[in-house]
Amino acid sequence: MQDHPIFSDEHRAIRKTLREFVTKELVPYTDEWEEAKEFPDSVFRRMGELGFLGLHYPEEYGGQGGDYLCGVILAEEMMGCLSGGVAMGIGCQTDMVCALLNKVGSAEIKERFLRPALAGEKIGCLCITEPDAGSDVASIRTTNQPDGEHYVINGQKTFITNGVRADFAIIVTRARGSEGARGMTLFIVEKGTPGFSVSRKLEKVGMHASDTAEHAYQDCRVPAENIIGEEGQGFYHIMWELQPERLFGAVSSVAGAQIMMDMTLKYVRERQQFGRPIGKFQAIRHRLGELATDIEAARQLSYHAAGLIKEGELPVKEITMAKLFASRMANRMADEAVQFHGGYGYMMEYTIQRFWRDSRLIRIGAGTDEIMLEVISRQMGL
């Protein structure tokens, strides 16, 4: 992971700096944040101050001007904080919200929202899923209705990462009377806008340090200048956004699986049963060998997709394969790691249980396994 040929000396220097930051400024507090079920907004500000939120964004808007691989390194190193919730909260900012702002936002939108988001001064969230529409984005029902220089928005959104703390939300809406992919538009709704409310903070099985919310929009008036991208093209903007989000998930899954592997290797070398370390038993050695192979395969597939993006391509099939394979692999690694730890693996004092709980979400978020298989098969011409 640290010395793959696609990474340059500059990339390795960034990785070293990020790892030192995560170790010194995040790891000592993640247990506390998990218990509190949130991490402080100051983490965003600190990471913005250090330039970490804008590693692969234009210098023109406060980014560092690096290539896409800098974002890959961020995704990997954030898992070292040992909290999937913290990593997901930061990833939502860098690879969902900022990705859309940078890709389809106007110069004015970028000044108003991308610049402060990269600085960690404003936190954003992306609102797609609704109570009755998840993987089927074309079925969303939140509506927009033009009214002079404003649009009136009505509807509900759910499963929103950073949704409680967000200073602004990018929401997917549709024109009244439109159907399917047509007539969908993205709006930025700022905190405090009349008619916009956080209706509920959701309780999750894992990812505890990440706040997840439901939003309600009731006759919410949003100025037309807050449209992001082209009016009526929102569906296609979101289909693009899902690609960096999915690869972020794949890379994070590989990094998390490697951490779980390292924890498990340490445990099986030290844990004695029947007069010898349990890692000496063939059943355990062979299973760990298979898992190590799966981790490496997922890593190479993810790096291949990342390398194609760096070269200016948008390899939908490879990204989707990486997300599917890496997330399933991380789930297997988590389940086996808990099994190898035995009763200790089920105890809250052992970090491995947190990875077990956190890793399950990635097979659902940013597109379920079933959707990934559908995308791959379509890319194959089926």
> Which amino acids are annotated catalytic?
245
Each residue of 85-113: b (16+ CB within 10 Å) or e? Answer: bbbbbbbbbbbbbbbbbbebbeeebbebb
Q: Cβ distance 114 to 101 under 8 Å?
A: yes
H, E, C per residue of the chain: CCCCCCCCHHHHHHHHHHHHHHHHHHHHHHHHHHHHCCCCCHHHHHHHHCCCCCCCCCHHHCCCCCCHHHHHHHHHHHHHHCCHHHHHHHHHHHHHHHHHHHHHCCHHHHHHHHHHHHCCCCCEEEECCECCECCCHHHCCCEEEEECCEEEEEEEEEEEECCCCCCEEEEEEEECCCCCCCCEEEEEEECCCCCEEEEEECCCCCCCCCCEEEEEEEEEEEEHHHEECCCCEHHHHHHHHHHHHHHHHHHHHHHHHHHHHHHHHHHHHHCEECCEEHHHCHHHHHHHHHHHHHHHHHHHHHHHHHHHHHCCCCCHHHHHHHHHHHHHHHHHHHHHHHHHHHHHHHCCCCCHHHHHHHHHHHHCCCCCHHHHHHHHHHHCCC
Tokens for 380, please give them.
Answer: 């194959």
Place of tokens 């759910």: 158
Place of tokens 């998990």: 34
Q: Cβ distance 238 to 172 under 8 Å?
A: yes
Name, in order, each residue with C-beta under 8 angstroms of 272's C-beta and a sequence gap of 6 or more. 278
